[in-house]
Structure 1
Amino acid sequence: MQEDNSIFKKMTFKEEPFNTGSESSTCKTKWSCCGKKCYYFSHELKNFEESKEICKKFPSTLLKIEDEKELHFIQSQLSYFSWTGLSHKGISSPWTWEDNSIPLLKIDWNESKNGNCGSITTTRMAASDCSRFMYYICEKKMFV
């Protein structure tokens, strides 16, 4: 399944990122917190590799979803497709996060021969062509 890039032109961003009370002070400006992580929701379109490189400069990584609570939080913040740190080398290889770990959550999506990189939106995750331009989500552990 291929998404139409024109949908990005119609998307809107949430005005204020979600913060969980006093923890918000430990995340830098333009970063949101939930639990023990800080998240950066980009406002620019990049391909998968460019997104990974930008996150590294913060320093951080592309999003790694570790449980249902985190999945629901991230989805509640989105109104557009965004890159995650999930990818694989082809249909016969396993999906892994940027740190090479296997996803703990069961992820239901349709495989696609060109979709080797994982994206997320408000309702689902998708296998997307890594060369597509999307928003991206970076994450890093919260400083305490």
Structure 2
Amino acid sequence: MVTDFHKRPLQYTPVSIQGSDIEVEDSFKYLCVHLNKKLDWTHNTDALYKKGQSSLHLLRRLRSFGVCRPLLRTFQYSVVASVIHYAVACWGADSTDRDRKTLNKLKWIRFGSSCYFFSEERKSWDKARESCRAREADLVVINTKEENAFISALKNQSVWLGLSDRDLEGTWKWVDGSSLTLFWGSDQPDNSGEEDCGHIRNGFPGVWNDISCLSSMQWICEKEQMLFV
């Protein structure tokens, strides 16, 4: 089945889905089409949509980053569904109103079991990592395609990842010591001119590239979810 999210004045690329995914499809369609027009769940009385009422503050933030269009244009439906599932549910029952307000104030976004800080400044890889550590975090470590999609959708510029082969040329490691590297671009990493640090390329959502660690770009910090008492 192919669903077309075409709703004037918005236009979205059709996305292939399975019939069993209809509930998630309906939620995602409502999120991307109706919510972009007016941030109000009352236009649809279905209980499926009403369950999102408590997450409106998060959805407003996702909308401000333009999350819908990049996801629909770039990623397979299975990834889209997972991203929306985690994003809509990211303020869970274990988070208090105080937690949410504090996270928003500090400019952290929660996804799954982690919290993410998206910088607006540009720095070298080392300086970016110093900034993350000053926030009691580290440069982002991407473990799944869902996390890769989430990050790419919320940041459409080149950003540093916590990934490098500085310790041993050709052996890429994350800052946490793990070595899972799944989303390199074609013929990457190529180490063209001492390119020892990894980043997501501007204009290529979700695609990793190696580049000089002295380059200047924005970055993403990651830490375990924060609960404030």
Q: TM exceeds 0.5?
A: yes
Q: CA deviation at 1:107?
A: 3.1
Q: CA deviation at 1:17?
A: 8.3
Provide structure 2 residue ranges, at least 5 long, that are not aligned to the other structure. 1-62, 68-86
Q: Is the 8 A contact 1:82 1:136 kept in 2?
A: yes
Matches within 5 A, 1:123-134: 123-134=206-217
Q: Is the 8 A contact 2:184 2:209 kept in 1?
A: no
Matches within 5 A, 1:1-144: 15-16=64-65, 19-21=87-89, 22-23=91-92, 25=100, 28-29=103-104, 30-89=107-166, 92-103=169-180, 105=182, 107-108=184-185, 109-112=188-191, 113-121=193-201, 122-143=205-226
| CA root-mean-square deviation | 2.5
Q: Is the 8 A contact 2:138 2:162 kept in 1?
A: yes
Q: How many matched pairs?
A: 131
Name the structure with the higher strand share: 1
1:58-82 deviations in Å (ceiling 9; x for gaps): 1101000011110111111121100
2:127 aligned counterpart, secondary structure: helix
Deviates more, 1:44-53 or 1:114-123: 114-123
TM-score of the pair, normalised by structure 1: 0.79
Q: Distance in 2 between matches of 1:54 and 1:85?
A: 12
TM-score of the pair, normalised by structure 2: 0.51
1:35-87 deviations in Å (ceiling 9; x for gaps): 11110110000000000000001110100001111011111112110001000
Q: Distance in 2 between matches of 1:69 and 1:47?
A: 26
Q: Distance in 1 between matches of 2:123 and 2:175?
A: 17
Between the aligned residues of both structures, percent identity stands at 27
CA 1:101–1:78 in structure 2 vs 1: closer, same or farther (change >3 Å)? same
Q: CA deviation at 1:124?
A: 1.1
2:103 aligned counterpart, secondary structure: coil
Provide structure 1 residue ranges, at least 5 long, that are not aligned to the other structure. 1-13
CA 1:131–1:45 in structure 2 vs 1: closer, same or farther (change >3 Å)? same
One-letter amino acid of the counterpart of residue 213, structure 2: C
CA 1:102–1:36 in structure 2 vs 1: closer, same or farther (change >3 Å)? same
1:79 aligned counterpart, secondary structure: coil
CA 1:79–1:106 in structure 2 vs 1: closer, same or farther (change >3 Å)? closer
